[in-house]
Amino acid sequence: MIEFWTSFGIWLGALSTLAIWSFLYKDNPFYKVAEQIFVGISAAYWLVYTIYNILIPNLFSKLIADPVANWIYFIPGILGLMMILRIIPKFEKLSFYPLSLLIGTTAGISLLRFLKSDVLTQTTATMLNPFAATSLTVTIGQIIIIIGTITGLVYFYFSKKHEGFIGANARVGIIFLMVSFGASFGYTVMARISLLIGRLQFIFGDWLHLIK
């Protein structure tokens, strides 16, 4: 019986993949069906997952087991309810309070961490002495990092018109930015092809048994 359901799952997965891919030819009912099933199942899955893996263990079970000792959990519980009230127009404004608390707390926690990791440590890491490096390749690489960082920052300096010395630096900066965008695009292509490979490995391997 288990084997039947495994095979059924593989067939369902393979046919759904083909149905989704059929959109590349043109929009068609197979694609629409697969798309709607995917959206419906995803929404239902996440709802059930959130209830059983987040709400029950982190909130309901604690409040049911010992509400007096765990009284503090009533606060996030009430804030959560206030957030849901957004769906009732009359009480919509009540959702602003938990939302503002969430945004304020997140900003407060993140600010220090981002300041340290993304500003201070990154700046320190750019303060290099390229000529202290052990090899010529590293020296060249570090010089490129310094030039790229400075000219990149100059490009985003808008308080002075980009002409003369500033303009020349900004033009160098934009070359570094273009190289960076190109690298990001290359990685994105690689990622999308990797996903296609993953699907084809499933189709040729698990479904058609053409590859191991």
Partner 1 sequence: MSFSSIDRRWIFLFILLGVAIPLIIPIGFKLEVTSDVQKVYDLIQNVEEDKLALISFDYDPASKPELHPMGYAIIKHAIEKNHIIVCTALWPMGSQMADDIYHNLKAEMPELEYGKNFINLGYKAGGMVTIQAMGKDMRKVYPTDVSGKDINEYEILNCVKSLKSFAYVVSLSSGTPGLKDWIMIAKDKYGVPVLGGATAVSTPGFKPYLNDSNQLNGLLGGLKNAAEYEGLVKRKGTATAGMDAQSVAHLIIIGFILLGNIAFFMNYKKVKD
Q: List interacting residues with partner 1 (CB under 8 A).
A: 24-25, 46, 49-50, 53-54, 58, 109-110, 113-114, 116-117, 121-122, 124-126, 128, 180, 183-184, 187-191, 193-201, 204, 210-211
Shortest distance, position 33 Cβ to partner 1, whole Å: 20
Shortest distance, position 187 Cβ to partner 1, whole Å: 4
Q: Which is nearer to partner 1, 45 or 91 (CB)?
A: 45
> How is residue 116 written in tokens?
């340290």
Shortest distance, position 49 Cβ to partner 1, whole Å: 6
Residues in the chain: 212
Q: Which is nearer to partner 1, 91 or 204 (CB)?
A: 204
> How is residue 139 written in tokens?
């020296």
Which residues, including other chains, have CB under 8 Å from residue 62's CB and lie 6 or more apart? 70, 73
Q: Which is nearer to partner 1, 1 or 132 (CB)?
A: 132
Query: Angle formed by the axes of helices 74-84 and 96-114, to 10°?
Result: 110
Query: How many CA atoms does the CB half-sphere of 68 hold within 13 Å?
Result: 0
